[in-house]
Amino acid sequence: DQTIYLKDYAPSPYLIERVELDVRFEESETRVRALLTILPNRDTEPGTPLVLDGDELTLDTIAIDGLPLVLSAYAATPDALTLMEPPHRRFVLETEVRLTPETNTRLMGLYRSNGVWCTQCEPEGFRRITYFLDRPDILSTYKVTMTADRALAPILLSNGNPSGGGDAGDGRHYAVWEDPFPKPAYLFALVAGDLAAIHDSFTTASGRKVALAIYCEHGKQEQCAYAMDALKRSMAWDERRFGLEYDLDVFNIVAVSDFNFGAMENKGLNIFNDKLVFARPETATDVDYAGIESVIAHEYFHNWTGNRITCRDWFQLCLKEGLTVYRDQEFTMDERSRPVARIEDVRKLRATQFPEDGGPLAHPARPDNYREINNFYTATVYEKGAEIVRMLATLLGEAGFRKGMDLYFERHDGDATTIEAFIAVFAEASGRDLSQFEQWYLQAGTPDLEVGETWDEATRRYSLSFRQRTRPTPGQPEKAPMVIPVRFGLVGPNGSDMGWSGVSGGRVESDLIVLEDGETTITFEGVASRPVPSLLRGFSAPVNLTSSLGQAEKLFLARHDADPFNRWQALQDVAMKLIIDAVDGAALSTADADAFTDALVETLGAEGLDDAFKAHALTLPAETDIARIIGKSVDPDAIHAARQSLIAAISERAGHALGEAYDARSADTPYSPGAAEAGRRALRNTVLGLLVRGGAPGAAARATTQYHEAGNMTDRLAALSSAVAAWTGDAQALLEDFRTHHTADPLVYDKWLAANAIAPHGGTLERLRAILADPDFPRNNPNRLRALVGSFANANPTQFGRADGAGFRFVTDFVADVDRRNPNVAARVLTAFRVWRTYEPGRREAAERALRGLAEAGGLSRNTADILARTLD
């Protein structure tokens, strides 16, 4: 067992102050010479061996202070370089290794994408480049010299500022980069290749001019304009909102086509999956534009939350990730619509984090052990991590939160630090005791929060009783009560919030109830009439709320709640109940269908709500969300059918209003990716989806027409997706048309792959097998693999969850195959099985058989073996 525990953390016995790298790129190998200035740490005993990490390295030469080492002084293996008795003083270790980036299909360390040399070092990739103390609490300044053939790699980039370069003879040239900010090795990056670029500049608040560039393959420059615009807006926002300025002379972004994740925040040299950079209306959807904006912002914001202040160890990952997601979410809210952004973030949280937190892969936002750190870049660390920071901001108020953030930067700039230190600055700045709050980082699982109410007409007294409970998660059988901030209002009969004259029984701070105990009853005195409570406004805590409110009261909130989030939530709740009742065999009553449809139609026509909000209001809970709420004996076909019949009822009743809403938003204005225009398209396409899936007369033809006439990818893909989801008579032909006319661009090919993968149709698996079997299928590109199999496993519940188990086997076979080349991609896809125990017995057995088959075949990477073991545990 190679489990690593937080409790075993100890400072490194040696530090590396400075790194000088000399990287020489050749046609089929790369040589890396490293000069590391090393010194013993404070309490290190003389004679303590120095163990540097490596991963698949071969040592060519080794010297200390210029003198070659005798064989007995060190031991070199592919994964470690040990100096038996290093000098007990500052010294320079010189090593040289040889790498073959061309054969690096894991895409960690130095690899080649489309001929371009590039790197991914987080979390433990730097050890695949040179022997090093590859841990985030080792901070060093870097000087990097790169030499390459000038024609092959006219562009040579690394972290920091450019500091020289020139001719190297023989058609070769070199460039030197210096990064003055001490950084951990995971933030190291280099890029060498023949790349095009767009250039711009940004002048910081204090007047420093920063040169900005986005590099990409030739011919794609125009597609980088939106990303550049998002970058400049991010830089301005961080100054405005947090007083944080950029700190180098240059900021470079490089788009590469083979990348395991979304993007990477390397100091001054962000490397991006190209799908999060390239955008033009014909190939990118509104969702793609929004994704680019938010990830550009996220990586930029890491410069302060992650780079200037980094993590002491990988257990602290959410110190930088949760906080930075919170920051990018706030950026999106400020740039677009706050309530719409909140709905989108919560939908994502529920779709990704809640199932994780409720299944075998549940872990605290700050885990205390891991076997493979790559498997902890999870929705819990990222999305729940952001929710925790959001709760902190809710509890402390805007000014209090900002005061804590200011103190964090003041105190910890230049540090590799911990969650405890982060909490401490907020406790200190606010004078509050945050020790119970800290449980949010330590305890896994989504709390269930049950609410009951009592109303006493005679005394005008209204009480809310809360009961919280967190179910056991792996390794944590007992759970403590959490601090739960519940933003709320007591909605009166006319739809506005009512006041009260007194309150007792718990902590209430204006519109915030702060729960601290397992059970709390709060009594409000002097309430004018029986209220409908609107609880957890803005989703003020990541919990599962259940209340005693009936459908009529929910529909009342849907119409009147002052909080738009809860208006949306109320509609979701009503739909959820109707669907779950149907899954349980109760036919949808006419009265229920009418009442729900009326509320939808009213929302659709309401003034003062933007189209993007309405689009969310008209989107029924996803099948996977319904499955999560049902929680056991899940039959995906029954869920699909129940949801489908509610859609049919809506489209039958509201066909006319929906058709009008569609037509009213059909004006063919030139495409702009802004929030208002995107909202208009989102609503129109949501309406189209309801009509097509609801089988409304003429709707299938409308989808086909929209597909052919669309002037942008958003509308074209939405039409295609509606047709595929309903498997209309034209669906197959539209898929073929899309393949023929639109997939020359690899990012659009991904959309075609995903469209195939999500068809809730019996022939889907066969189609996917054929696509994968094509010898031309790019089987090493993560984007292609995820578009096909990731979409299938995560977004096609009926076909992944086929009763005959063929969907499960398809995915485990895929994982076994891809794992040999790229463990990160394989392990990630496998996490789709986290729901396997919630299936009805037949599917549960089939899923388990597929998983056990994978385990028995053996030979899995540590990444995949870890996910598999925990999933089966």
Catalytic residues, which ones?
299
Kindly state the smallest distance separating residue 331's Cβ from Zn ion, in Å: 13
Q: How many chain residues interact with ligand B3K (CB under 6 A)?
A: 12
> Is 274 a residue that touches ligand B3K (CB under 6 A)?
no
**E-assigned strands of 184-220?**
190-193, 196-203, 209-216
- The nearer residue to ligand B3K, 563 or 866, going by C-beta atoms, is 866
- Between 467 and 821, name the residue whose CB sits nearer to ligand B3K: 821
* Burial class of residue 588 in the structure, from the number of CB atoms within 10 Å of its CB (0-12 exposed, 13-18 middle, 19+ buried): middle
Per-residue binding string, ligand B3K, 360-389, x by CB under 6 A, is --------------x--x------------
Which is nearer to Zn ion, 324 or 394 (by Cβ)? 324
Residues in contact with Zn ion, counted by CB under 5 A, come to a total of: 2
Residue 264 touches which member of Zn ion, ligand B3K, none, C-beta under 5-8 Å by kind: ligand B3K
Based on the shown chain and the rule CB under 6 A, indicate whether residue 261 belongs to the binding site for ligand B3K. Answer: yes
**Residue 532 burial (CB < 10 Å; 0-12/13-18/19+)?**
buried
Residue ranges of alpha helices (H) inside 209-316 are 225-242, 286-301
Are 151 and 29 within 8 A, CB to CB? no
Q: DSSP letter at 531?
A: P
Comparing CB distances to ligand B3K, the nearer of 137 and 299 is 299
- Give least dist CB 184 to Zn ion, A: 14
Binding-site partner at residue 305 among ligand B3K, Zn ion, none, CB < 5 to 8 Å by type: none
Using CB under 6 A, pick the residue from 299, 328, 357, 866 that binds ligand B3K.
Answer: 299
Does 749 help bind ligand B3K (rule: CB under 6 A)?
no
Q: Which one, 375 or 597, has the nearer CB to ligand B3K?
A: 375
Measured CA distances, 677 to 148, 197, 277, 278, 345 (Å):
46, 29, 20, 19, 20
For ligand B3K, which is the closer residue by CB, 382 or 408? 382
* DSSP 8-state symbol, 588: P
Q: Which two tokens mark 501? A: 């004259």
Only one residue has tokens 């690096």, namely 104
Phi, psi (rounded to 5 degrees) for 354: -60, -45
Quick one: what does residue 261 bind among Zn ion, ligand B3K, none, with the CB cut-off 5 to 8 Å set by partner type?
A: ligand B3K
Q: From the CB of 356, what's the least distance to Zn ion, in Å? A: 17
Question: From the CB of 120, what's the least distance to ligand B3K, in Å?
Answer: 7
CB of 239 to Zn ion, least distance (A): 20
**Member of 99, 195, 264, 627 binding ligand B3K (CB under 6 A):** 264
Indicate the residue type of 872.
L
Q: Is residue 298 near ligand B3K by the rule CB under 6 A?
A: yes
The length of the chain is: 873
Is the Cβ of residue 117 or residue 314 nearer to ligand B3K in the bound state?
314
CB of 790 to ligand B3K, least distance (A): 15
Query: E strand or H helix at 871, and its extent?
Result: helix 862-872
Instruction: Judge if the upstream peptide bond of residue 123 is cis by omega within 30 degrees of 0.
Output: yes
- The reply to whether 55 sits near ligand B3K by the rule CB under 6 A is no
Question: Least CB distance from residue 264 to ligand B3K, whole Å?
Answer: 5
Q: Using an 8 Å Cβ cutoff, are 486 and 535 in contact?
A: yes
- Options 194-202, 221-229, 260-268, 683-691: segment touching ligand B3K (CB under 6 A): 260-268
Which residue has 């390459």 as its token pair?
148
Element (H, E) at 599: helix 590-605
Rounded to an integer, what distance in angstroms lies between the CA atom of residue 160 and that of residue 142? 8
What pairs with residue 165 in β-bridges?
175
Question: Using the rule CB under 6 A, is 159 a contact of ligand B3K?
Answer: no
Question: Which amino acid belongs to residue 565?
Answer: F
Using CA atoms, how far apart are residues 810 and 831, in angstroms rounded to an integer? 14
> Shortest distance, CB of residue 415 to Zn ion, whole angstroms?
18
**Residue owning tokens 């046609």:** 27
Residue closer to ligand B3K (CB basis): 298 or 786: 298
Q: Provide, rounded to whole angstroms, the least separation between the CB of residue 298 and ligand B3K.
A: 5
CB closer to ligand B3K, 310 vs 443: 310
Q: Choose one: 5-13, 15-23, 127-135, 317-325; the region binding Zn ion (CB under 5 A).
A: 317-325
Q: Is residue 624 classed exposed, middle or buried when 0-12, 13-18 and 19+ CB atoms within 10 A define those classes?
A: buried
CB atoms within 10 A of CB 65: 11
Helix, coil or strand: residue 11? coil
- For β-strands 544-547 and 448-456, DSSP reports them as parallel
* Binding to Zn ion, residues 157-176 (CB under 5 A): none
Among 262-270, 449-457, 611-619, 747-755, the segment contacting ligand B3K (CB under 6 A): 262-270
- Joined together, the tokens standing for residue 614 give 């309405």
Q: How far apart (Å, rounded) are the C-alpha atoms in residues 554 and 777?
A: 49
**Other C-beta atoms lying within 10 Å of the C-beta of residue 501:** 10
Let me know: does 350 contact 446? Beta carbons within 8 Å: no
Q: Point out which span in 228-236, 320-328, 348-356, 481-489 binds Zn ion (CB under 5 A).
A: 320-328
Residue pair 749/735 in contact (Cβ under 8 Å)? The answer is no
Question: Which parts of 624-683 interact with ligand B3K (CB under 6 A)?
Answer: none
The conformation of residue 472, written as its DSSP 8-state character, comes to: -
- 95-154 positions binding ligand B3K, by CB under 6 A: 122-123
Smallest separation (angstroms) from ligand B3K to the CB of 364: 18
Q: Which of the choices Zn ion, ligand B3K, none does residue 707 contact, using the CB cut-off of 5 to 8 A by kind?
A: none
The answer to whether 265 contacts ligand B3K (rule: CB under 6 A) is yes
Nearer to ligand B3K, 220 or 327 (CB): 327
Binding site for ligand B3K (CB under 6 A): 122-123, 261, 263-265, 298-299, 302, 321, 374, 377
Task: Write out the residues near Zn ion by the rule CB under 5 A.
Answer: 321, 324
